[in-house]
Amino acid sequence: MINPFHKGILFGSIISALGTVFIIVTIFVLITAYTTAVDTQKYIANHLEELLDTVESTAGVACFVEDKQLASELAAGLLKNEGIASVVVKAANKELARASRPGLNETDLADNAYPITRIVKSPFSKDQVIGEIEIQQDLNAVHRQVTKKVYFTVSLLAAQLVIVATAIVLILYYIVVRPIRRLSGNLRKINPAAGEKLQLPEGHEGNEIAGLADDINKLTETLVNALSNEKELRVQREVDEKKFRSIFENASSGIFISDAEGRILSFNRSFVKLTHFPAHELSQAPKLANIAWRRRGRLDELINVCIKDQADQSFDMALNVDPPIWLNVALVAIGENRVQGVISDVTQNKLSEATAMHLAVTDKLTGLSNRLGLEHYLPDVIRKNLGAPLVMLMVDIKGFRHLNESMGLPAGDQMLKIVATKLLSCLKKTDWLGRLGGDDFVIVLQGEAGRVIAENVALRISDVLAKPVEINGSSIVSGCSIGISCYPADGVDLHGLLRSAEFALNYAKSAGKNDIQFFVPEMVAAAEQRHKLESELGHAVKNGELRLYYQPIVDLNAGRIVGAEALVRWQHPERGLVPPDDFIPIAEESDLICDLGLWVVETACQQLALWHAAGRNLYLSINVSVRQIPDALPASLLKETIARYGIPASSVALEITEGVMLSDIEKGINWIKELRNEGFRIYMDDFGTGYSSLSYLKRFPINVVKIDKSFIRDMNEETNDRVLVKAITAMSQALGLEVVAEGIENEGQIALLKEIGCRYGQGYYYSKPVPVTDFERLEQRGLEFIVPA
Amino acid sequence: MLRNLFIAIFILAVSASSLLAEDMVVVVNPKNGVNKLTREEVIDIFLGRNRQLSTGLTALPLDLPGVSLEREAFYLRLTGKSMSEINAYWARLIFSGRASPPTQVRSQEESMQMVIDNRSAIGYLERSKISSQVKVVFELGAK
Q: What is the CATH number of the domain that holds A72?
A: 3.30.450
- Which CATH number belongs to the domain containing residue A762 in this structure? 3.20.20.450
Does B99 have pLDDT greater than 50? Answer: yes
Does A202 have pLDDT greater than 70? Answer: yes
Q: Does A125 contact chain B (CB < 8 Å)?
A: yes
Query: Which of A558, A549, A623 has the alpha carbon at shortest distance from A761?
Result: A558
Q: With contact defined as beta carbons under 8 Å apart, do A504 and A394 qualify?
A: yes
| Model pLDDT, residue A309 | 86
A325 and A415 in one domain? no
A453 and A330 in one domain? no
Q: Rounded to a whole number, what is the distance in Å from the CA of B132 to chain A's nearest CA?
A: 31
A574 and A463 in one domain? no
Q: Whats the size of chain B, residue-wise?
A: 143
Q: Name the H helices within A173-207.
A: 178-189
Helix/strand/coil for A41: helix
Helix/strand/coil for A526: helix
Q: Name the least confident of A82-91, A253-262, A505-514, A702-711.
A: A505-514
Half-sphere exposure of A108 (CA within 13 A, CB side): 14
Chain A residues whose CB is inside 8 A of the B81 CB are: 123-124
User: Across chain A, what does the average pLDDT equal?
Assistant: 83
* DSSP class of A4: P
Residue A70 has its nearest CB partner, among B43, B47, B92, at B92
Q: How far apart, in whole angstroms, are the C-alpha atoms of residue B139 and residue B36? A: 10
| Stronger pLDDT, A425 or A478, i.e. the higher one | A425
Q: Name the H helices within A385-520.
A: 400-407, 409-425, 451-466, 494-509
CB-based contact A65 B93, cutoff 8 Å: yes
Q: Is residue A81 part of a domain?
A: yes
In chain A, pLDDT over 70 holds for what percent of residues? 95
A541 and A482 in one domain? no
CB-based contact A65 B49, cutoff 8 Å: yes
| Model pLDDT, residue A789 | 36
| Model pLDDT, residue A621 | 92
Q: Which domains does chain B have, with CATH numbers?
A: 2-141 (3.40.190.10)
Query: Which of A766, A763, A692, A764 has the alpha carbon at shortest distance from A732?
Result: A692
Q: How far apart, in whole angstroms, are the C-alpha atoms of residue A208 and residue A603? A: 115
* DSSP class of B97: -
Helix/strand/coil for B123: strand
Q: Whats the size of chain A, residue-wise?
A: 789
Query: Which residues, in sequence order, are CB contacts of B28 under 8 Å at separation 6+?
Result: B34, B115, B121, B122, B134, B135, B137
A460 and A551 in one domain? no
Q: What confidence category does residue A99 fall into, taking pLDDT thresholds of 50, 70 and 90? A: confident
Q: How far apart, in whole angstroms, are the C-alpha atoms of residue A170 and residue A158? A: 18
How far is Cα of residue A57 from the mean position of the Cα atoms in its chain?
126
Q: Domain limits at A721?
A: 532-782
Query: Which of A478, A504, A500 has the alpha carbon at shortest distance from A489?
Result: A500
Q: Of A304, A328, A351, which marks where a domain is finished? A: A351
How far is Cα of residue A288 from the mean position of the Cα atoms in its chain?
39
Q: With contact defined as beta carbons under 8 Å apart, do A68 and A97 qualify?
A: yes
A418 and A334 in one domain? no
Q: Is residue A15 part of a domain?
A: yes
Does A676 have pLDDT greater than 70? Answer: yes
pLDDT digits (tens, 9 = 90+) for A279-311: 777 777 788 888 888 888 788 888 888 888 888
| CA-atom Rg of chain B in angstroms | 15
Interface of B with A in 84-103 (CB under 8 A): 89, 92-93, 95-99
pLDDT digits (tens, 9 = 90+) for A44-76: 778 888 888 888 888 888 888 888 888 888 888
Q: Is A739 left (phi over 0), alpha (psi -120 to 50) or beta?
A: beta
Q: How far apart, in whole angstroms, are the C-alpha atoms of residue A742 and residue A723? A: 16
Q: With contact defined as beta carbons under 8 Å apart, do A686 and A705 qualify?
A: no
Q: Rounded to a whole number, what is the distance in Å from the CA of A120 to chain B's nearest CA?
A: 16
Q: Of A102, A132, A162, which marks where a domain is finished? A: A162
Query: Which of A700, A726, A721 has the alpha carbon at shortest distance from A709?
Result: A721
Chain B residues whose CB is inside 8 A of the A92 CB are: none
C-alpha angle A716-A720-A723 in degrees, rounded to nearest 5: 85
Q: Rounded to a whole number, what is the distance in Å from the CA of A57 to chain B's nearest CA?
A: 10
Q: Name the least confident of A238-242, A249-253, B139-143.
A: B139-143
Closest residue in A to B82 (Cα) is A124
A289 and A422 in one domain? no
Q: How far apart, in whole angstroms, are the C-alpha atoms of residue B130 and residue B25? A: 9
Q: How far apart, in whole angstroms, are the C-alpha atoms of residue A300 and residue A713? A: 85
Q: Rounded to a whole number, what is the distance in Å from the CA of B77 to chain A's nearest CA?
A: 11
A295 and A437 in one domain? no
| Model pLDDT, residue B18 | 47
| Model pLDDT, residue A514 | 67
Residue A67 has its nearest CB partner, among B47, B81, B98, at B98
Helix/strand/coil for B52: strand
Chain B residues whose CB is inside 8 A of the A64 CB are: 47, 49
User: Within chain A, how many helices (H) and strands (E) appear?
Assistant: 26, 25
CB-based contact B89 A61, cutoff 8 Å: yes
Q: With contact defined as beta carbons under 8 Å apart, do B139 and B25 qualify?
A: yes
CB-based contact A64 B47, cutoff 8 Å: yes
Q: Is residue A769 part of a domain?
A: yes
Q: Is residue A662 part of a domain?
A: yes
| Stronger pLDDT, A391 or A589, i.e. the higher one | A391
Helix/strand/coil for A21: helix
- Which CATH number belongs to the domain containing residue A395 in this structure? 3.30.70.270
If 0-12 CB within 10 Å is exposed, 13-18 middle and 19+ buried, where does residue A736 land? exposed
pLDDT digits (tens, 9 = 90+) for A682-702: 998 888 776 666 677 777 788
Q: What confidence category does residue A787 fall into, taking pLDDT thresholds of 50, 70 and 90? A: very low
| Model pLDDT, residue A701 | 83
Q: How far apart, in whole angstroms, are the C-alpha atoms of residue B35 and residue A762? A: 207
A38 and A147 in one domain? yes
Q: Does B49 contact chain A (CB < 8 Å)?
A: yes
Beta strands, E only, A336-426: 338-345, 390-397
Q: Does A14 contact chain B (CB < 8 Å)?
A: no
On the question of a cis peptide bond just before residue B65, with omega within 30 degrees of 0, the verdict is: no
A284 and A401 in one domain? no
pLDDT digits (tens, 9 = 90+) for A399-437: 787 778 777 888 888 888 998 998 888 888 888 888 888
- Which CATH number belongs to the domain containing residue A295 in this structure? 3.30.450.20
CB-based contact B96 A67, cutoff 8 Å: yes
Q: Is residue A228 part of a domain?
A: no
Q: Is residue A646 part of a domain?
A: yes
Q: Of A131, A162, A193, which marks where a domain is finished? A: A162
Four-residue CA torsion sign, A150, A156, A162, A168: negative
Query: Which of A559, A550, A555 has the alpha carbon at shortest distance from A704?
Result: A555
| Stronger pLDDT, A715 or A461, i.e. the higher one | A461
Q: Name the helix (H) or strand (E) containing A587.
A: helix A580-589
> Strand A469-471 relative to strand A325-335: parallel, antiparallel, unpaired?
unpaired
Question: For an interface test with B, which of A57, A124, A129, A130 has the most B Cβ atoms less than 10 Å from its Cβ?
Answer: A124
Helix/strand/coil for A530: helix
Q: Does B80 contact chain A (CB < 8 Å)?
A: yes
pLDDT digits (tens, 9 = 90+) for A741-781: 998 888 888 888 888 888 899 988 888 888 888 888 888 87
Q: Is residue A365 part of a domain?
A: no
Complete DSSP assignment for A475-497: EE---EEEEEEEETTT-SSHHHH
Chain B residues whose CB is inside 8 A of the A77 CB are: none
Could you give the C-alpha distances from A769 to A560, A743, A764, in angstroms and in order? 16, 12, 8
Does A442 have pLDDT greater than 60? Answer: yes
Q: Is residue A735 part of a domain?
A: yes
Q: How far apart, in whole angstroms, are the C-alpha atoms of residue A37 and residue A29? A: 12
Q: How far apart, in whole angstroms, are the C-alpha atoms of residue A292 and residue A258? A: 17
CB-based contact B79 A61, cutoff 8 Å: no
* DSSP class of A320: S
A282 and A152 in one domain? no
Count of structural domains within chain A:
4
A293 and A426 in one domain? no
